[in-house]
């Protein structure tokens, strides 16, 4: 009982009077101040970042000390207090799949974490689970594994065996049966049986039967879907609220979605009504009230507002100049091949001097120097964790 974690979990084991007595004695001996410290420690967020050192992955804390020593060929970010790991295997740049059912236009559901590929899991290697201190929670068992979402993680025991979902105790809640599946989001997962797509709930029952040509993730309550060779948008019940009548489509963003009619792109609202007529050669999603488009008469992209007029602000120019979206009040920007950060007003906060950077997450941003070594900076640009790692990921909440 020397660690705070042990003292915090003991009171929950109410079936043991001896444990309760021991806990009370320990807290009394430490005094009121220490007891208060324990409460604070319990409430404080605990963040870890995966880093690669000497060819092995581990996890560091914000004080740069290792919470989990680098000993793994691959690790995932933590989810529900657990992280996947593998001791061996040759990693691949682009994640791998449970099956080889052809996807639409080559698109596939991948075992990757977030928009940035997170050192995809080794192919044909067993994956296990560890806790926040690196203690083995589950021995290497699975061929593929995804993060825990809403208490469930998608897994496969071997290639071609199908995808299922386990709970945090490692028990199958949904038996392996799908050819593809996405992580659970808002109590639903997109799944495939053969070349047909539908939705299932956490109990494994179909919300939408697998009858669609293809189905994408939900955005703003609607999901892109393809049926009969045409694109449209379905609600949570799988009912088409717009289309299928389009030749291509992008997700809804800020209330509008870009859709293609024959060779032209325009924008519709959630009812399927055109708010910006299809006249563009290309179109992108709206972000910050503007969207990047390109007309047929010029190869130079420009930005439009939701009314369809050309943007008169410099926000579009900033995005074309290499500026990204805001994260924790700062956005990364590239100038002359180096990266720095600006605030929401475009004021330079951190001079571009890094060869690469990540977005700010939990107060820190990963950054690499000109030798391609990684470390972490704070919001003032100070190097708070030295650049000595071969690779690094964002700081993420563990629990």
Please give the pLDDT value at position 10: 32
Nearest to 113 by CA among 155, 78, 88, 65: 78
Determine the pLDDT at residue 159: 65
- Among residues 61, 113, 63, 109, which one has the least CA distance to residue 84? 113
Chain length of the chain: 399
pLDDT at residue number 293: 95
Number of other residues whose CB lies within 10 A of the CB of residue 308: 16
The conformational region for residue 329 under phi > 0 = left, psi -120 to 50 = alpha, else beta, is left
User: Burial of 307 by CB count in 10 Å (0-12 exposed, 13-18 middle, 19+ buried)?
Assistant: exposed
Separation of alpha carbons 257 and 225, rounded Å:
13
The whole-number pLDDT of residue 126 equals 81
The pLDDT score that the predictor gives to residue 244 is 95
Task: Kindly report the backbone phi and psi dihedral angles of residue 34, in degrees, each rounded to the nearest multiple of 5, phi listed first.
Answer: -65, -35
For position 299, what pLDDT does the model report? 76
223-261 core/surface letters (b: 16 or more CB in 10 A; e: else): bbbbbeebbbbbeeebebebbbebeebbbbbeebbbbbe
The pLDDT of residue 312? 72
> Helix, strand, or coil here: 133?
coil
Q: Which two tokens stand for residue 264?
A: 């032209």
Which tokens in the block code for residue 154? Answer: 């998608």
Q: Which residue has the tokens 């320990």?
A: 26
Enumerate long-range contacts of 207-215, CB under 8 Å, 24 or more apart: 207/236, 207/237, 207/238, 208/234, 208/237, 208/238, 209/238, 212/238, 213/104, 214/103, 214/104, 214/107, 215/190
Q: What is the pLDDT along the chain (399 residues), one digit of tens a residue?
A: 333 333 333 333 333 223 233 333 333 343 444 334 433 333 446 899 999 999 999 999 999 999 999 999 989 999 999 999 988 754 443 333 333 333 333 344 443 332 223 344 444 458 899 998 899 998 888 888 889 999 999 988 776 678 999 999 989 999 999 988 888 988 999 999 988 999 999 999 999 999 999 999 899 999 999 999 999 999 988 899 998 999 999 999 999 999 999 999 999 999 999 999 999 999 999 988 999 999 998 778 999 999 999 887 555 554 444 455 788 999 999 999 999 999 988 899 999 999 999 999 999 999 999 999 999 999 999 999 999 999 999 999 997
Cα–Cα dist 396/10, whole Å: 26
Name the percent of the chain in helix, strand, coil, to the closest 5: 10, 45, 40
**CA Rg value for the chain:** 24
What is the spatial distance between Cα 72 and Cα 54, in angstroms, rounded to a whole number? 11
The pTM for the full model equals 0.71
Check residue 28 and give its pLDDT.
39
């Amino acid at each position: 009982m020397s660690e705070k974690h042990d003292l915090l979990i003991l009171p929950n084991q109410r079936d043991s009077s001896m444990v309760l007595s021991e806990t009370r004695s320990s807290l009394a001996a430490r005094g009121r101040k220490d007891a208060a410290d324990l409460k604070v420690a319990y409430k404080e967020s605990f963040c870890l970042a995966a880093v690669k050192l000497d060819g092995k992955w581990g996890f560091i804390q914000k004080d740069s000390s290792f919470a989990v020593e680098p000993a793994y060929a691959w690790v995932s970010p933590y989810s529900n207090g657990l992280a996947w790991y593998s001791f061996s295997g040759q990693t691949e740049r682009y994640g791998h799949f449970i099956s080889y059912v052809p996807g639409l236009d080559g698109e596939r559901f991948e075992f990757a974490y977030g928009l940035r590929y997170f050192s995809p899991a080794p192919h044909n290697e067993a994956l296990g689970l560890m806790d926040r201190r690196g203690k083995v929670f589950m021995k290497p068992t699975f061929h593929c594994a995804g993060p825990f979402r809403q208490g469930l993680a998608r897994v496969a025991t071997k290639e071609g065996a199908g995808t299922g979902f386990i709970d945090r105790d490692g028990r199958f809640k949904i038996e392996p049966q799908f050819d593809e599946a996405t992580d659970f989001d808002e109590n639903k997962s997109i799944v495939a049986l053969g070349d047909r797509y539908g939705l299932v709930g956490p109990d494994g029952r179909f919300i939408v039967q697998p009858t669609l040509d293809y189905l994408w993730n939900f955005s703003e309550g609607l999901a892109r879907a393809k049926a009969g060779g045409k694109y449209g948008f379905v609600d949570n019940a799988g009912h088409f609220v717009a289309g299928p009548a389009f030749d291509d489509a992008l997700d809804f963003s800020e209330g509008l979605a870009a859709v293609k009619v024959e060779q032209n792109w325009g924008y519709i609202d959630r009812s399927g009504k055109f708010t910006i007529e299809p006249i563009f050669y290309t179109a992108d999603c709206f972000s910050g009230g503007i969207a990047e488009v390109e007309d047929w008469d010029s190869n130079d992209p420009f930005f439009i507002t939701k009314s369809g007029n050309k943007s008169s602000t410099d926000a579009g120019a900033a995005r074309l100049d290499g500026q990204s979206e805001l994260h924790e009040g700062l956005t990364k920007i590239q100038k002359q091949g180096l990266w720095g950060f600006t605030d929401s007003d475009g004021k330079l906060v951190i001079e571009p001097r890094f060869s690469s950077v990540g977005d700010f997450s939990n107060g820190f941003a990963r950054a690499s120097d000109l030798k391609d070594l990684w470390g972490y900076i704070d919001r003032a640009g100070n190097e708070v964790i030295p650049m000595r790692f071969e690779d690094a990921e964002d700081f993420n909440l563990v629990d």
